[in-house]
């Protein structure tokens, strides 16, 4: 099924575009330091506020740092942090969702209401309060976003589990005395995976957005590290003199999110189509 999904992927140009964008950004994130002509904190003497040129692809900012290099270095955090938070949310959310979906009853009632109440708090408000108390740090960002996204993933997995748990093959597994762990991960999880893949891609794009927003508010990675959100904020004051210092990181965020969204949208269509075939 996943092999067929991959074949489908190549037949959808927009999805393919999304995939290419994501791969490009991943490449930059991994090999960034090798590509970038300067370090992110190198101040080039006498080269402040230079417009884009062959030497400085995206120009330089008001302190004389190469914007292209800063964007390239910054790719690592903007992809690494959301990737970690997405992975953790998916793992926690899947475990919780499978358990409450399979057992139902009181456990489901209590846990679902708890998750709902977490979801009721606006994301940025929770982030501001939490990071305000524990202090801004990459670790803090991970904790906050995992707290915000685990309930969402759990709800998706729970509803998929509800559909599967009463099917004949799950009952057949119970009748041969399988353990709950086996039933959850061997019988039910494969059926949840398509929905989960789509949800994970969606969470990833939201996590990028939220990380950038927190960086913009100064609650993310601390200076002089190149955080795209923070770079946008810093360049805001001198937008009339060095617009490129604002446009480069903002554009990078936009393109990455568009890429991830195109990919997740394509995945959703592919899996929905696959579901109809069966």
DSSP string, 135-201: -S-HHHHHHHHHHHHHHHHHHHHHHHHHHHHTSHHHHHHHHTT--HHHIIIIIIHHHHHHHHHHHHH
Q: How big is the CA angle at 270 (ends 260 and 193), to the nearest 5 degrees?
A: 80
Q: Which of 187, 227, 234, 265 binds another protein (CB under 8 A)?
A: 187
Closer of 53 and 179 to another protein (Cβ): 179
Closer of 190 and 243 to another protein (Cβ): 190
Q: Confirm or reject binding of residue 277 to another protein (CB under 8 A).
A: yes
Closer of 27 and 169 to another protein (Cβ): 169
Q: Which tokens in the block code for residue 41?
A: 């904190």
Residues 137 and 140: their CA atoms lie apart, in Å, by: 5
Rg of the chain over Cα atoms, rounded to whole angstroms, equals 22
Closer of 46 and 177 to another protein (Cβ): 177
Closer of 131 and 196 to another protein (Cβ): 196
Closer of 116 and 171 to another protein (Cβ): 171
Stretch that binds another protein, among 76-84, 85-93, 161-169, 249-257 (CB under 8 A): 161-169
DSSP string, 204-271: HHHHHHHHHHHHHTT-SSPTTS--HHHHHHHHHTTTTT-HHHHHHHHHHHHHHHHHHHHHHHHHHHHH
Residues 164 and 183: their CA atoms lie apart, in Å, by: 11
Minimum CB distance to another protein, residue 161 (Å) = 14
Q: Confirm or reject binding of residue 178 to another protein (CB under 8 A).
A: yes
Q: Residue 73's closest CA among 239, 258, 221?
A: 221
Q: Which of 7, 168, 181, 276 binds another protein (CB under 8 A)?
A: 168
Q: Which of 175, 181, 240, 276 binds another protein (CB under 8 A)?
A: 175
Minimum CB distance to another protein, residue 77 (Å) = 37
Q: Confirm or reject binding of residue 113 to another protein (CB under 8 A).
A: no
Residues 261 and 258: their CA atoms lie apart, in Å, by: 5
69 within 8 A of 36, measured Cβ to Cβ: yes
Minimum CB distance to another protein, residue 165 (Å) = 11
Stretch that binds another protein, among 31-39, 47-55, 90-98, 170-178 (CB under 8 A): 170-178
Q: Confirm or reject binding of residue 33 to another protein (CB under 8 A).
A: no
Residues 215 and 209: their CA atoms lie apart, in Å, by: 10
Minimum CB distance to another protein, residue 108 (Å) = 15
At 44, give phi and psi (nearest 5°): -85, 120
Stretch that binds another protein, among 50-58, 167-175, 222-230, 245-253 (CB under 8 A): 167-175
Q: Confirm or reject binding of residue 176 to another protein (CB under 8 A).
A: yes
Applying CB under 8 A, the site for another protein has a residue count of 16
Q: Confirm or reject binding of residue 171 to another protein (CB under 8 A).
A: yes
Site for another protein, rule CB under 8 A: 1, 167-169, 171-172, 174-178, 187, 190-191, 277-278
């Amino acid at each position: 099924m996943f092999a067929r999904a991959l074949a489908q992927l190549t037949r959808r140009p927009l999805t393919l575009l999304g995939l290419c964008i994501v791969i490009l950004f991943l490449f930059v994130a991994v090999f960034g330091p090798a590509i970038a002509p300067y370090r992110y904190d190198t101040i080039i003497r006498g080269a402040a506020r230079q417009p884009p040129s062959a030497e400085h692809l995206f120009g330089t900012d008001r302190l004389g740092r190469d914007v292209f290099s800063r964007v390239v270095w910054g790719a690592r955090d903007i992809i690494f942090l959301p990737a970690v938070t997405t992975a953790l949310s998916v793992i926690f959310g899947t475990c919780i969702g499978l358990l409450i979906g399979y057992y139902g009853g009181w456990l489901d009632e209590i846990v679902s209401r708890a998750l709902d109440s977490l979801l009721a708090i606006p994301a940025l408000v929770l982030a501001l309060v939490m990071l305000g108390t524990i202090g801004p740090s990459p670790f803090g960002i991970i904790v906050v976003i995992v707290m915000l996204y685990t309930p969402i993933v759990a709800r998706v997995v729970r509803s998929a589990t509800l559909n599967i748990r009463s099917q004949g093959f799950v009952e057949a597994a119970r009748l041969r005395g399988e353990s709950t762990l086996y039933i959850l991960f061997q019988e039910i999880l494969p059926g949840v995976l398509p929905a989960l893949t789509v949800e994970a891609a969606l969470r990833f794009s939201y996590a990028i957005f939220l990380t950038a927003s927190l960086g913009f508010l100064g609650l993310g990675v601390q200076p002089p590290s190149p955080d795209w959100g923070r770079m946008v904020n810093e360049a805001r004051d001198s937008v009339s003199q060095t617009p490129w210092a604002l446009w480069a990181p903002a554009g990078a965020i936009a393109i990455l999110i568009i890429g991830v969204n195109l990919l997740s949208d394509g995945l959703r269509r592919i899996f929905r189509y696959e579901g109809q075939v069966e």
